[in-house]
């Protein structure tokens, strides 16, 4: 059976309450639907430290880009929407004491709601074709709907 994630504070309180009510580890596990290991670990933690809340929210490395850094990165993106990830990273690192890598920039941009996009590839219009289209548009500028219908038939 795999991990389901952290227990909520309420579930941890239920584990402690069941054990304090006199239920065994097996009875508590069967009643609450948690593993024996989970029951014993939560109750042991409550007995030793007197706490039922999980402190796992504070685990992991702190993010290098705080709210102020995100605003700065947002301004860099607004200035040049076509900038690549490398360009954004180098511009961000200019004037910052602690530099970040491209992976950090990528995760920050995803957290901010930006996704990577590529422009559609469209065929280029040649200069001669552009001139012909302009001449056609200028010649037929004052046409009405009736004029167009007679030529289409």
pLDDT tens profile 110-128? 999 998 877 788 888 899 9
Angstrom distance (rounded) from CA 52 to CA 114: 38
Angstrom distance (rounded) from CA 143 to CA 153: 16
Please tell me whether the overall predicted TM-score, pTM, comes out greater than 0.85 for this model: no
Residue 3: per-residue pLDDT? 58
Between 102-112 and 85-93, two packed helices, what is the crossing angle to 10 degrees? Answer: 100
Higher pLDDT, 58 or 143: 143
Q: Which among 110, 107, 119, 74 is positioned nearest to 92, based on CA atoms?
A: 74
Residue 113: per-residue pLDDT? 92
């Amino acid at each position: 059976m795999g991990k389901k994630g952290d227990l909520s504070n309420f579930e941890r309180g239920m584990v402690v309450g069941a054990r304090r009510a006199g239920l065994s580890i097996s009875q508590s596990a069967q009643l609450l639907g948690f593993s024996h290991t989970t029951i014993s670990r939560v109750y042991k933690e409550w007995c030793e430290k007197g706490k039922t809340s999980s402190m796992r929210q504070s685990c992991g490395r702190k993010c290098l880009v705080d709210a102020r850094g995100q605003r700065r990165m947002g301004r860099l993106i607004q200035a040049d929407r076509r900038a690549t990830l490398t360009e954004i990273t180098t511009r961000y690192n200019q004037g910052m004491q602690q530099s970040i890598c491209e992976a950090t920039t990528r995760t920050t941009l995803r957290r901010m709601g930006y996704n990577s996009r590529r422009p559609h590839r469209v065929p280029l219009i040649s200069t001669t074709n552009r001139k012909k289209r302009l001449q056609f548009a200028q010649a037929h500028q004052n046409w009405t709907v009736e004029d167009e219908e007679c030529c289409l038939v």
